[in-house]
């Protein structure tokens, strides 16, 4: 079907908003409980794998001639884990051919990331690879096997380049406005004159998309990108503490921004988009946006960012929102069509765990009773999860980060 801006903006928005508003706020009864014996087994396995990888990283050879052997062993450990682990059960959702193709594709993606933006931090690389994995998941769900996508790379890298810039308090509203105007002009095909390296690379990422979707023959992607820019600009209202947004306004910002973001990922999948696809992927994007906001409750509440979660910080309200998320994504996945239903169910399980993990990371916003209930469905005990996450996520010294980057570069480079 031909995509239409009004169809996307009005029909999808209305359908997803209605689905969310009618989703129950009661605790769901469809979650699979995980027995304590299974949790203990999972914890032992995770600990053993972490110890194994830590040992392998520590013995990264200084002698370059020994690194090929080290690399083969390290990648062998990774592949063995993916073939045997029973926590996510990835190997049950993807056959060996799909798994190998996925590893090759993500490796190619990381090579392009390091060549294009060697200055990008581990956090930025993590954001980019998570974006690309969403696109790769949609290919697998539609049983399409592809190699590395340059357009997928360009779009996945736009997030750490644009969204983080727009969200950063380091830049003024004038600077952000100038940056967005440059992006708008570039998307519209106008001549642009980047004044910084950051602006130049942003334009190059848009060029990567256009290289596979020429403007003359496929203009719809540029309409979607303009809608994404519009959504980002509108989301700036969430940072304005002087203008209080209603809950309805916060909800619409999340639906539109999340929905358009994921719809673009789906557009890159080489399969015709149906009306059911529109609402499914738009809804999934909204869910992922909510999941991001759930993870960021602590920071958003401190910085005054107006999301659905920060409208009312009482535990009972947070718990009702999470319950609605669980019902919403469960219904969405059951109603959505996929060529690979097994993989779609795998995604649903990971959506549940994404929510649970975010709750644990923001446990002060939830009651003890609710946390105890959620723990029944988490693959490990909460104390174990907290112990494993105590290592600092930020503040890695430059020397350590340089070492990790060298290890990453060694793992993704082609065999000599």
Q: What does the mean pLDDT of the chain come to?
A: 92
Give the Cα separation of 88 and 349 in Å (integer): 8
What is the 3-state secondary structure of 87-149? CCCHHHHCCHHHHHHHHHHHHHHHHHHHHHCCCCCHHHHHHHHHHHHHHHHHHHHCCCCCCCC
Mean pLDDT of 236-240: 87
- pLDDT confidence of residue 413: 84
Give the Cα separation of 184 and 187 in Å (integer): 5
Angle formed by the axes of helices 197-212 and 150-158, nearest 10°? 140
Give the Cα separation of 21 and 383 in Å (integer): 34
Give the Cα separation of 298 and 98 in Å (integer): 38
- pLDDT confidence of residue 394: 44
- pLDDT confidence of residue 128: 95
Residue 280 pLDDT class (50, 70, 90 cuts): very high
Distances 280 to 169, 261, 307 between C-alpha atoms, Å: 34, 13, 22
Mean pLDDT of 263-272: 94
Mean pLDDT of 82-100: 91
Mean pLDDT of 110-114: 96
- pLDDT confidence of residue 203: 97
| Of 307 and 165, the one with more pLDDT | 307
Give the Cα separation of 60 and 103 in Å (integer): 21
**Cβ atoms within 10 A of the Cβ of 102, count?**
19
- pLDDT confidence of residue 246: 96
Predicted confidence (pLDDT) per residue in 334-356, tens digit: 999 899 999 999 999 999 999 99
Predicted confidence (pLDDT) per residue in 363-397, tens digit: 999 999 999 999 999 999 999 998 887 654 444 56
DSSP string over 263-286: HHHHHTSSSPPPHHHHHHHHHHHH
- pLDDT confidence of residue 391: 52
- pLDDT confidence of residue 416: 42
Place of tokens 């051919």: 97
- pLDDT confidence of residue 393: 46
- pLDDT confidence of residue 3: 80
| CA nearest neighbour of 104 among 148, 155, 151 | 148
| Of 40 and 95, the one with more pLDDT | 40
Classify domain 5-31+88-380 at the CATH class level.
mainly alpha
| Of 390 and 195, the one with more pLDDT | 195
Q: Is the pLDDT of residue 163 over 80?
A: no
Predicted confidence (pLDDT) per residue in 287-318, tens digit: 999 999 999 999 999 999 999 999 999 999 99
Q: Is the pLDDT of residue 200 over 90?
A: yes
């Amino acid at each position: 079907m031909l995509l239409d801006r009004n169809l996307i903006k009005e029909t999808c928005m209305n359908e997803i908003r209605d689905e969310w508003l009618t989703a129950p706020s009661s605790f769901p009864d469809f979650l699979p409980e995980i027995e304590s014996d299974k949790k203990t087994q999972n914890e032992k396995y995770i600990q053993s794998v972490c110890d194994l990888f830590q040992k392998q990283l520590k013995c990264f050879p200084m002698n370059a001639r020994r690194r090929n052997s080290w690399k083969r062993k390290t990648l062998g450990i990774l592949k063995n884990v993916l073939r045997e682990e029973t926590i996510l059960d990835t190997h049950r959702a993807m056959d060996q051919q799909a798994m190998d193709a996925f590893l090759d594709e993500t490796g190619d993606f990381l090579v392009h990331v390091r060549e294009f933006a060697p200055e990008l931090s581990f956090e930025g690389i993590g954001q980019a690879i998570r974006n690309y994995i969403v696109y790769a998941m949609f290919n697998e769900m539609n049983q399409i096997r592809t190699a590395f996508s340059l357009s997928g790379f360009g779009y996945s890298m736009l997030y750490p380049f644009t969204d983080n810039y727009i969200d950063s308090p380091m830049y003024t509203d004038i600077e952000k406005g100038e940056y967005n105007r440059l992006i708008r002009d570039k998307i519209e095909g106008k001549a642009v004159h980047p004044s910084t390296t950051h602006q130049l690379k942003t334009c190059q990422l848009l060029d990567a998309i256009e290289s596979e979707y020429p403007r003359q023959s496929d203009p719809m992607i540029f309409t979607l990108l303009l809608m994404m820019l519009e959504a980002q600009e509108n989301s700036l209202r969430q940072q304005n503490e002087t203008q209080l947004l209603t809950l309805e306004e916060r909800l619409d910002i999340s639906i539109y921004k999340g929905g358009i973001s994921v719809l673009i990922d789906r557009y890159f999948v080489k399969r015709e988009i149906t009306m059911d696809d529109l609402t499914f992927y738009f809804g999934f994007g909204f869910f992922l946006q909510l999941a991001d906001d759930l993870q960021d409750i602590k920071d958003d509440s401190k910085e005054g960012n107006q999301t659905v979660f920060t409208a009312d910080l009482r535990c009972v309200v947070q718990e009702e929102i999470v319950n609605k998320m669980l019902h919403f994504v469960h219904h969405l996945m059951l109603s959505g069509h996929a060529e690979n239903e097994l993989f779609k169910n795998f995604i649903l399980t990971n959506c549940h765990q994404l929510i649970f993990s975010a709750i644990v990371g923001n446990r002060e916003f939830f009651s003890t009773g609710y946390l105890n209930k959620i723990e029944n469905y988490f693959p490990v005990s909460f104390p174990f999860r907290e112990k494993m996450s105590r290592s600092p996520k930020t503040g890695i010294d430059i020397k350590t980060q340089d070492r990790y980057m060298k290890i990453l570069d060694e793992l993704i480079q082609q065999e000599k």
